[in-house]
Amino acid sequence: MNAKSLRGAYLMVAGKGLSALIGLASMLILARLLEPEDYGLVVLVEAALTLLAAVTELQMVSVLIHLPKVDDEHFSTTWTLNLIRAFVLCSLVVLIAPGLAEFYDDPRLVDIAYVSSLSLFLGAMLNPKMALLVRDLDFKKEFLLGLSQKVAGFVVTVIVAYQLRNYWALVLGTLATQVCGLVVSYWCYPFKPALTLSKVRELWGFSMWLSLANFVKTLNIKLDQFVVGKMFNPSVTGVYSLATRLSTVLFTDTLGAALRVVSPSLREHTHNPLELNKAYLKTQSLVTLIFLPVASITSALASPLIDLALGPKWIDVIDVFRVLVLALCLEAIGGVGLSVVMATLNTRLAFYRNLVSIAGRAAFMGIGLYAGGFYGLLLGRAASALLDLLLYFAIAGKVTGLSVRKQLWLNWRTVLSCALVYPVLYALQTPPWPLIGNSSLLQAFWLLAMIGAGMLMQMCVQGLLWILSNRPDSIEPIFLAYLKSKFIHKGMRSA
């Protein structure tokens, strides 16, 4: 990536990192104020409404990012279509809310659905000109937008949770996030939209396949929540939901922010296949080198992490989080392949990939549920993540001409080093309780020591594998040289 892309990636990841810290703080507080059942109720409605939003999602903003030339008519057309969509969404929610409550046999879901529909409406009305910030790799205002939304949601959620101690904290917090996002988006990029559909044909040509792909992708993402919500009680659903949220905040959101920079930066190489391949492989290697070890270490240390962060009330989250954090990380890494597809506007490939993915996920989860109940379903979910990764590599190969095998082999040292370090950390994860006792401070120091040890082991093992591989010209020396230039040389200059 060029210097501008890297600066955008830094800012986006920094923003998501800060948002993740706020999200984690929120979850730590809410875990002590709410019950698993509260999360379970909200996630049942959230899954249904997210699917409704995906059915009507037009993906116009994504198209605006990649079209070579856009003007105010494109943005007004996008805004008009989103306005129509917002009214359709709210009407659909009113119609399905009673049926949703009957399906899950819980009348509380009706009121939750009605209030949550306002969030969908507000989200649909977000300023479409924010697409320019992503297209032009100008992420300062988007950083402000995301951070202000997170702060607004955090404040409202915590206050309502403290006062009411129930699921309304989660619902109203989401509503506050959308209100803030709507206001800040128009403050960041002043825009007076007009009612028009003049550019609908031009936009629809690209967005049709992207919209279909997004619907199938959303159904794919929410499939496990629908199944868990129907087959198990709200408490189990809440445990699964919180583990998913933690995994998403820690990895998927942060990595997704970085990948938003990748697609526009790859666009400049679309007319040079050789450069496109080099840029894609370098990005894929770098993303895997950074995020897979972090996910692996977090998964191995899930027990002390959850125990310290959430307390004994959420002990059932540990095994679910251990699996989901790796699964979601693999899917996010695969998103690099999707970035190549988006950069070349091969949106039909994304749709076909999502169709195969949802069929595979349903099959894996169905077999797992039949064979092993809840934990069988969880393992089926993990198996579907591996399938997703291969599918992402397959569609990237269609665009770049690279084989799936080459893309997999590119990161074998990172994968092997994670596999070797994981069992060691897993064996060491239990703190020496006679020495630590019930002191949260000592538990935190132990956890930090284990994280540090895991990172050190990871670097040593990967470095040794690189040396044994005859020191290839790969991502390891590039990344090490970058770290030296940023930290060691900077430290020497300041000294």
Q: What is the pLDDT of residue 309?
A: 80
Q: What is the pLDDT of residue 344?
A: 73
Q: What is the pLDDT of residue 202?
A: 66
Q: Would you give the DSSP letter of residue 199?
A: T
What is the Cα–Cα distance from 28 to 34, expressed in whole angstroms? 10
**Residue 370 burial class via C-beta count within 10 angstroms: exposed 0-12, middle 13-18, buried 19 and up:** exposed
Is-contact 279 1, C-beta < 8 A?
yes
- Residue type (1 letter), 471: R
Cα–Cα distances in angstroms (integers) from residue 100 to residues 27, 47, 235, 464, in the given order: 26, 11, 18, 55
**Residue 72 burial class via C-beta count within 10 angstroms: exposed 0-12, middle 13-18, buried 19 and up:** middle
Read off the pLDDT of each residue in 368-385 and give the average, rounded to a whole number. 92
**Residue 379: band (very low, low, confident or very high) from pLDDT cuts 50, 70, 90:** very high
The token duo for 228 is 């868990």
Of the candidates 418, 419, 394, the one whose C-alpha atom is nearest the C-alpha of residue 405 is 394
Angle between helices 253-267 and 3-33 (to 10 degrees): 160
Read off the pLDDT of each residue in 90-94 and give the average, rounded to a whole number. 88
Q: What is the pLDDT of residue 110?
A: 92
Cα–Cα distances in angstroms (integers) from residue 354 to residues 48, 182, 236, 291, in the given order: 19, 30, 27, 23
Q: What is the pLDDT of residue 26?
A: 83
Degrees, nearest 5: CA angle 374-377-381: 140
Q: What is the pLDDT of residue 59?
A: 60
Is this structure's pTM higher than 0.85? no
Cα–Cα distances in angstroms (integers) from residue 254 to residues 320, 332, 336, in the given order: 20, 10, 13
pLDDT greater at residue 222 or residue 329: 329
Q: How far is CA 280 from the centre of its chain?
A: 20
Q: What is the pLDDT of residue 241?
A: 85
Of the candidates 229, 287, 297, the one whose C-alpha atom is nearest the C-alpha of residue 458 is 297
What is the Cα–Cα distance from 34 to 115, expressed in whole angstroms? 19
| Alpha-carbon torsion angle 264, 269, 271, 273, nearest 10 | -130
What is the Cα–Cα distance from 208 to 461, expressed in whole angstroms? 46
Q: What is the pLDDT of residue 387?
A: 93
Q: What is the pLDDT of residue 451?
A: 92
Read off the pLDDT of each residue in 282-291 and give the average, rounded to a whole number. 86
262 pLDDT higher than 60: no
pLDDT, mean over the chain: 81
Q: Which residues of 377-386 are buried (b: 16+ CB within 10 A; e: fewer)?
A: bbbbbbbbbb
Sign, CA torsion 82/88/91/92: negative
419 pLDDT higher than 90: yes
Read off the pLDDT of each residue in 111-140 and give the average, rounded to a whole number. 79
Of the candidates 293, 274, 191, the one whose C-alpha atom is nearest the C-alpha of residue 285 is 293
Q: Which of 21-25, 80-84, 327-331, 409-413 has the lowest mean pLDDT?
A: 21-25
Read off the pLDDT of each residue in 87-101 and give the average, rounded to a whole number. 88
Is-contact 353 220, C-beta < 8 A?
no
Read off the pLDDT of each residue in 366-388 and give the average, rounded to a whole number. 92
- Residue type (1 letter), 66: H
**Residue located via tokens 């284990």:** 450
286 pLDDT higher than 80: yes
For the chain, the first-to-last Cα distance in angstroms comes to 31
Q: Would you give the DSSP letter of residue 430?
A: S
pLDDT greater at residue 153 or residue 251: 153
What does the pLDDT look like over 166-185, one tens digit per residue? 999 999 999 999 999 889 88
Cα–Cα distances in angstroms (integers) from residue 145 to residues 137, 151, 224, in the given order: 15, 10, 30
CB atoms within 10 A of CB 63: 25
pLDDT greater at residue 58 or residue 323: 323
Q: Which residues of 303-322 are buried (b: 16+ CB within 10 A; e: fewer)?
A: bbbbbebbeeebebbbbbbb
Cα–Cα distances in angstroms (integers) from residue 83 to residues 88, 174, 258, 351, in the given order: 9, 20, 29, 25
Read off the pLDDT of each residue in 83-112 and give the average, rounded to a whole number. 88
Q: What is the pLDDT of residue 367?
A: 94
Q: Which of 2-11, 97-106, 139-148 has the lowest mean pLDDT?
A: 2-11
What is the Cα–Cα distance from 376 to 94, expressed in whole angstroms? 35
Q: What is the pLDDT of residue 205?
A: 58
81's CB contacts (< 8 A; 6+ apart) are: 58, 60, 197, 200, 203
377 pLDDT higher than 80: yes
**Residue 420: band (very low, low, confident or very high) from pLDDT cuts 50, 70, 90:** very high
Is-contact 216 355, C-beta < 8 A?
yes
204's CB contacts (< 8 A; 6+ apart) are: none
What is the Cα–Cα distance from 212 to 196, expressed in whole angstroms? 23
What does the pLDDT look like over 22-34, one tens digit per residue? 877 887 788 888 8
294 pLDDT higher than 60: yes
The token duo for 403 is 């084989």
2's CB contacts (< 8 A; 6+ apart) are: 265, 268
Q: Would you give the DSSP letter of residue 484?
A: I
Sign, CA torsion 434/299/359/97: positive
